[in-house]
Amino acid sequence: MRVWLVLVFGAISCASAPPVAVSPAVSPSGVVSPAPIVISPEEKSYLDKKHAEDKLRAELLQTPDHFVTSDYWEKRDSGIVNDYTRATAIRVKNRSEFDVSELKGKIHFSDKFGQEMATVPFTASGEVPAGQTVKLNIDSSEISGKAVGAKVVIENLRARR
């Protein structure tokens, strides 16, 4: 049994019989385009779903703070003569359809008057499942002074289904 594989203007045909020529479309200006690709409704549904998922993932990665937020933080204060503050954990709410991990961002510390004292980067360990709220331990720098408020901004993350 022989199998024929023929490429005619971008269309592939596999059969046990000799191939049938596929006529490409020719525009009035003489431009030749490949024969149209025919897909099943199931394949179209899968491709549409995959395209929508890719679009959501790209939006999440581009603006993670629109989907993943933090409204609570824990800290450790230290110092005898001078005060020092270090954030140790954050509560993260994931409103996306993806599980997220490897969160990175910045913490903006403020004093008792609401004035910003310092901004430090952080990295969070752990995963936040889609649609859930989880407390994550973080690694961040210590600042000089006693911070009473903080705004957590998530700038980067990893998303998976």
DSSP string, the chain: ---EEEEETTEEEEESSPPPPPPPEE-TT--EEPPPP---HHHHHHHHHHHHHHHHHHHHHH-GGGTEEEEEEEEEEE-SSS-EEEEEEEEEEE-SSSEEEEEEEEEEEE-TTS-EEEEEEEEEESEE-TT-EEEEEEEE--EES---EEEEEEEEEEEE-
- pTM beyond 0.85: the answer is no
List pLDDT tens digits, range 67-82.
999 999 999 989 888 8
Q: Which one is predicted more confidently, 3 or 148?
A: 148
- Provide the residue ranges of all domains of the chain, joining segments of one domain with +: 1-35, 68-160
List pLDDT tens digits, range 76-127.
989 888 889 999 999 999 999 999 999 999 999 999 999 999 999 999 999 9
Class of domain 68-160: mainly beta
Q: What is the pLDDT of residue 23?
A: 56
